[in-house]
Structure 1
Amino acid sequence: MKKLNPTSSNISSTDKSIAVLPFVNMSNSIDNEYFCDGLTEEIINALAKIKELSVTSRTSSFYFKNKKVTSQEIREQLGVSVFIEGSIRVLKDTMRITVQMIDALNDFHFWSETFDRNPEDVFAIQDEVSLFIAEKLREHIGHIEIEDKLIEPIDVPIHIYREYLKGRYYLMKMGYENTVKAISIFESIIQKAPNFPNAYIDINHGYTYMGAMGLMPAFEGFQKAQPFLKKGLELNPNLYRSQLNLSWIECWQNWNLKKAYLHANKALEIQPADEIYLTISNYLTVEGKLNSAHNYIDKALELDPFSAMNIHYKGFLLYLQEDYNAAMPYFQKALALNPILPFPPLYIGECLLFTNRNQEALSYYKALNGVSINDLTQLGGITMCYAKMGDIEKCNEKIRELESYLTSEKMDKAFNFLILVNVLLGNYNQALECIEQAFENHLPLILLLNTEPILKPIKNLERFKKLMVQAIPDNNNYKSQKKYKQILLSDDEIERHGNALKKIMKEHKLYLNPDVSLKDLASYLELPTNYVSQLLSLGFQKNFSEFINTYRVEEFKQRVILEENKGLTIMAVAYDSGFNSKTVFNTFFKKIEGTTPNSYLRMNRRN
């Protein structure tokens, strides 16, 4: 079989990355469709527990459901080196599962297996198939640590578990009607199996989703979700979704970012998932650490490149950095993938507005329909357009309409637009009064004001700074830096943060970015920059340049002796290793290795 050119892709044959495409239902029963999707999701979750393995998340895998795709398309669109496809056929008391493993880089099937099993042994089947996949994958891509079991059986009868899979089927289809139907199924399951934690956690997920997406008032959604989360945690505190939901509560309800990060990181330890990286990116945004937020959303997109929410958030970060032309395609793609996602329409209009396409923005907002009207996007967007265009009479008319929602369930949206509009009009006192009222009502929108570019004219005003410090005590934009000047890290802190930094460098290879800075390291460690400078000095006896370039030299040494790099010049390999200057490269290499790059290459190639 003809092999693809390895240079045509960003992945290599040794990349430990995999996607599990939805298993095809070969039976006529819709109930088997739920089972096929459920089995696929469980295998994805099981493989995601393998630390060295990068597993494409459910949303992106299911993007390809019922679509005929080639290995090249999978490789290019998901960025994986291997993918799984399979089918399930149920006949009376027999279930046949067929699984194939395909090398996406070289386009060949390197393993297939057929499992004939009793459908009642569903948990054993899921674990067996997952372990088979993991073992064969290890043989193909190299060593990965595999536990004896990847899927633990759930203590519920099989018929209830099948009903649960049906609920998951509707929950993952999203939208108001599907979510309500899923919640109804889970509530029925709770009546029959009151000690089944997954059902409680998924009801919590459903209400939280509807509140966050504007499908019901945010406060109502969070309030309804909370008792189900509490019960789910009592039954099993170690589900990653439980920790993630706790994290959301700490951030958006309690405004406690420190605890929010703790729960998010615990969720990440249980199972790496794109929604956790998205969540951490969200928290970094709240703190104003936009460069670090990009790093985390990029990781989320790596795991789930077809997640509309991930794509939207990448655009949102670019919007916050006022790169409106770059942000626009992300919002448009997110909306194309999920037309009911409520956030992109607001920012598509704003991108038009702030690239001086005022009339186009106004026409866009006026043409909106559906969920965007329900969450005040249309009204708020039109009001912003009139403010920007200087049509004060029409703007004031719309302001009065927005104010009518301040005593309704849409209070948070109304306050948000009133703040933005008043700043656009130059009514800074009115904007600050709205912010103060939103703060008193403990509305989550307060946490998003820190980075909103429209609010730049008021960000240096004391009234604004005071509120931001109260809401986000660790806000780098407003807190005093004096307290850090004389503080030295303790020996325990040096060891702890030093180990964390080594792990970050190993996992993220920040040194490959020629523009990486001390601030970037600080953002990853979530420490003030001067702390990290002290850490490098006391813990590594190096300054920033020495620390980063030491990693680059080691990277160069590994790359330059590879057979595939024989045709490259020394400087080409050096640039690939993160250096951006010939002088710096030669100087640091000789300083660290005691010889020149040419001499090192001659000695090692002879060996």
Structure 2
Amino acid sequence: MSSSIENEYFCDGLTEEIINALAKIKELSVISRASSFYFKNKKTTTKEIIEKLGVATFIGGSVRLSKKKMRITVHMIDTVNDFLFWSETFDRDLEDIFKVQDEISLFIAEKLREYIGHIEIEDKLVEPLNLSINTYREYLKGRYYLMKFDYESTLKSIKIFEEIINEKPNFPNPYLDINQGYAYLGTMGLLPADEAFQIAQPYLKRALELDLSSPRSQLNLSWIECWQNWDLQKAYEHANNALEIQSTDEVYLTISSYLTVEGKLGPAQNYINKALELDPFSAINHHYKGYIYYLQQDYKKAIQFLQKSLTFNSVLPFPPIYIGQSLLLSGKFNEALEYFDGLKGVSLKDLTKLGGKTMSYAFLGDVSKCHIGIRELETYLNTELMGKALTFLVLTNVLLGNYEEAIDYVELAYKNKLPIILLFNTEPILKPIKNHKRFKKIMIQAISDNSNYTPIKRYRHSLLHTEDISKYVKEMEQVMMENKLYLNPNLSLKDLASYIELPTNYVSQLLNQGVNKNFSEYVNTFRLNEFKERVIFDENKNVTIMSIAYDSGFNSKTVFNTFFKKKEGITPNTYLKIKRRN
């Protein structure tokens, strides 16, 4: 709610940190940053957001900064019954930002547990960073540009991260971000792969020295093992490690890409679907789902998802390649040529327009124009665009029937350790050479067929022994009744846990396994019984129903009415009329 763009980076960072903190809780599926932020500055209602994201619980709020102070409001809405569970305001000092992030994350997690059932919560969800507010803001600005996924923005982000490293050399995150930036530029052929990976390597090495166990460190290691070292087994292992620490769409997308490399397109679809579940408005996730459909030769669906990805990020460089190739493989040669020729705003670091038109001429049988395109593509073989040029040269030569020349280019890519090799394995245009002896030999050398990937099982062992559950359930009920704890409208799960002297995680699981209720339902059952007893007392004949409900421990009219009707099947008014008639 602050006007300054610098404050916007700050507020976005706070929100993203809370999202990441909640995502660490294994029992929760938390919508990722891109989809949550999609609705920023858009005229839309809470109901519309809930429907588009398909969520069961909605967390909203605002941040207002004023000099060295900040006011953060947070509220939670039950999307099934459409009512406000709670609302809370935090007035804090700006310098305490990391402490506040953890405080709010834990507060939300505790409230979620009270209303949706057992989840295990660590004592701390956000680790503080040894940074000043100004440095933190600069870091968030760098992340903003890094996530744009284009050449110029990536370089801009790297410059910001380098300045932060000069100031804070023991802060691991900017090292990881620089590694990610150069890895992206090398993988996408926007810089020579070898050069980009060599520049990135010392940054990653330093990040791992500072923090090997973070999910981002493991994910960066995973990418390197796949796209640089071509070791899928190790790539899967590191991705699994990242997933064990924190369930994010980025990890599911990563695993989907590895399965795609191996040609396991069914499982790859399952993983990209999970990524889209967590981040349904992510441009890169929609692109990759479209790409998998392209590999499955379902070109109509491929184009649908690829075009949708561009509605979320119009400068994403990959979708236009596969939109055009889908048109070509659908037999729409002239439409594809027109599409490639009409690409607007294509970066100078992108050969999609040239390569796409060259392939289109091959499909159309215009050999003369096709060869002109091939010769122009060949001029880039000794430049930083070698990877992109080789891709289109391989594809075009296969289309022309020049299989030996195409495989020569594949060998050149292999010798230069270019990541594009891994994409050739499943490319539909390369079908004519898939069984060629030379091609198969290269693919076997590049892609190991013994990765034996097994997804991790994300579960927790029971904290309580079965024989203890019934004992503690009776003790908990006795404590509730003797102390009438439920009459406290602000009673929390932590409060109840302190009375029976058990850790909060244990009591949460006790409610889940012992009485099959979440905390809110458990306590409101006592309140409901209290209300039913009080409402028929003669002395309460002239007292309003809601006054009796509040005296029974309820603190919300909506919660009371909704819970009463759910349990009794009728409204409180109808219930009272029936009781008074009897």
TM-score, normalization by structure 1: 0.72
Task: Tell whether 2:257 aligns with 1:257.
Answer: no
Contact in 2 for aligned 1:358/1:388 (Cα 8 Å):
yes
Task: Tell whether 2:350 aligns with 1:390.
Answer: no
Aligned residue number for residue 513 of structure 1: none
Contact in 2 for aligned 1:349/1:381 (Cα 8 Å):
yes
Aligned residue number for residue 301 of structure 2: 326
Aligned residue number for residue 331 of structure 2: 356
Aligned residue number for residue 288 of structure 2: 313
2:174 is paired with a residue whose SS is helix
Contact in 2 for aligned 1:436/1:467 (Cα 8 Å):
yes
Q: Within 5 A, what are the aligned runs for 1:111-122? A: 111-122=86-97
Contact in 1 for aligned 2:349/2:385 (Cα 8 Å):
no
Alpha carbons of 1:129 and 1:463: their partners in 2 closer, same or farther (altered >3 Å)? Answer: same
2:425 is paired with a residue whose SS is helix
Separation (CA, whole Å) in 1 of partners of 2:356 and 2:162: 38
Q: How far off is 1:468 after superposition?
A: 1.1
The count of corresponding residues between Structure 1 and Structure 2 is 461
Separation (CA, whole Å) in 1 of partners of 2:6 and 2:139: 11
For 1:193, which of 155, 168, 184 is the aligned residue?
168
Alpha carbons of 1:404 and 1:37: their partners in 2 closer, same or farther (altered >3 Å)? Answer: same
Contact in 2 for aligned 1:75/1:105 (Cα 8 Å):
no
Separation (CA, whole Å) in 2 of partners of 1:121 and 1:53: 27
Q: Which amino acid aligns with 1:242?
A: S
Higher relative contact order (CA 8 A, sep 6+): 2
Aligned residue number for residue 581 of structure 1: none
Contact in 2 for aligned 1:54/1:303 (Cα 8 Å):
yes
Task: Tell whether 2:415 aligns with 1:440.
Answer: yes
Separation (CA, whole Å) in 2 of partners of 1:88 and 1:444: 43
Separation (CA, whole Å) in 1 of partners of 2:348 and 2:138: 35
Alpha carbons of 1:190 and 1:374: their partners in 2 closer, same or farther (altered >3 Å)? Answer: closer
Q: How far off is 1:503 after superposition?
A: 6.5
Task: Tell whether 2:404 aligns with 1:429.
Answer: yes
1:90 is paired with a residue whose SS is strand
Q: How far off is 1:439 after superposition?
A: 1.4
Deviations 1:419-465 (A, max 9, x none): 11111111111112221222122211111111111111111122211
Task: Tell whether 2:318 aligns with 1:343.
Answer: yes
Alpha carbons of 1:369 and 1:162: their partners in 2 closer, same or farther (altered >3 Å)? Answer: closer
Q: How far off is 1:398 after superposition?
A: 1.5
Alpha carbons of 1:373 and 1:354: their partners in 2 closer, same or farther (altered >3 Å)? Answer: farther
Contact in 2 for aligned 1:384/1:421 (Cα 8 Å):
yes
Alpha carbons of 1:167 and 1:441: their partners in 2 closer, same or farther (altered >3 Å)? Answer: closer
Separation (CA, whole Å) in 1 of partners of 2:182 and 2:190: 9
Contact in 2 for aligned 1:287/1:472 (Cα 8 Å):
yes
Q: How far off is 1:189 after superposition?
A: 1.7
Deviations 1:148-198 (A, max 9, x none): 111111123444333323333333345444333332222222122111111
Aligned residue number for residue 135 of structure 2: 160
Aligned residue number for residue 204 of structure 2: 229
Contact in 2 for aligned 1:373/1:379 (Cα 8 Å):
no
Contact in 1 for aligned 2:283/2:313 (Cα 8 Å):
yes
Separation (CA, whole Å) in 2 of partners of 1:464 and 1:165: 45
Q: How far off is 1:120 after superposition?
A: 1.3
Aligned residue number for residue 553 of structure 2: none
Aligned residue number for residue 181 of structure 1: 156
Alpha carbons of 1:138 and 1:451: their partners in 2 closer, same or farther (altered >3 Å)? Answer: same
> Once superposed, what is the RMSD of the aligned Cα atoms?
2.3
Separation (CA, whole Å) in 2 of partners of 1:152 and 1:220: 34
Aligned residue number for residue 92 of structure 1: 67
Q: Which amino acid aligns with 2:210?
A: L
For 2:79, which of 80, 84, 104 is the aligned residue?
104
Identity of paired residues, percent?
67
1:89 is paired with a residue whose SS is strand
Deviations 1:22-65 (A, max 9, x none): xxxx2333332122111001101100100000011111111111
Separation (CA, whole Å) in 1 of partners of 2:340 and 2:401: 22
Q: Which amino acid aligns with 1:299?
A: K
Structure 2 gap segments, 5+ residues each? 462-515, 517-582
Alpha carbons of 1:331 and 1:278: their partners in 2 closer, same or farther (altered >3 Å)? Answer: same
Alpha carbons of 1:114 and 1:313: their partners in 2 closer, same or farther (altered >3 Å)? Answer: same
Q: Which amino acid aligns with 2:368?
A: E
Q: Which amino acid aligns with 1:171?
A: L
Aligned residue number for residue 416 of structure 1: 391
Contact in 2 for aligned 1:47/1:55 (Cα 8 Å):
yes
Deviates more, 1:83-92 or 1:205-214: 205-214
Separation (CA, whole Å) in 2 of partners of 1:173 and 1:320: 26
Aligned residue number for residue 541 of structure 1: none
Deviates more, 1:289-298 or 1:203-212: 203-212
Q: Which amino acid aligns with 2:247?
A: P
Q: Which amino acid aligns with 1:298?
A: N
Task: Tell whether 2:103 aligns with 1:128.
Answer: yes
Q: How far off is 1:109 after superposition?
A: 1.7
Q: Which amino acid aligns with 1:65?
A: K
2:72 is paired with a residue whose SS is strand
Deviates more, 1:449-458 or 1:363-372: 363-372
Deviations 1:237-281 (A, max 9, x none): 122111111111111111111111111111111211111111111
Q: Which amino acid aligns with 2:107?
A: F
1:114 is paired with a residue whose SS is strand
TM-score, normalization by structure 2: 0.75
Task: Tell whether 2:206 aligns with 1:239.
Answer: no
Q: How far off is 1:80 after superposition?
A: 1.0
Aligned residue number for residue 291 of structure 1: 266
Task: Tell whether 2:10 aligns with 1:30.
Answer: no
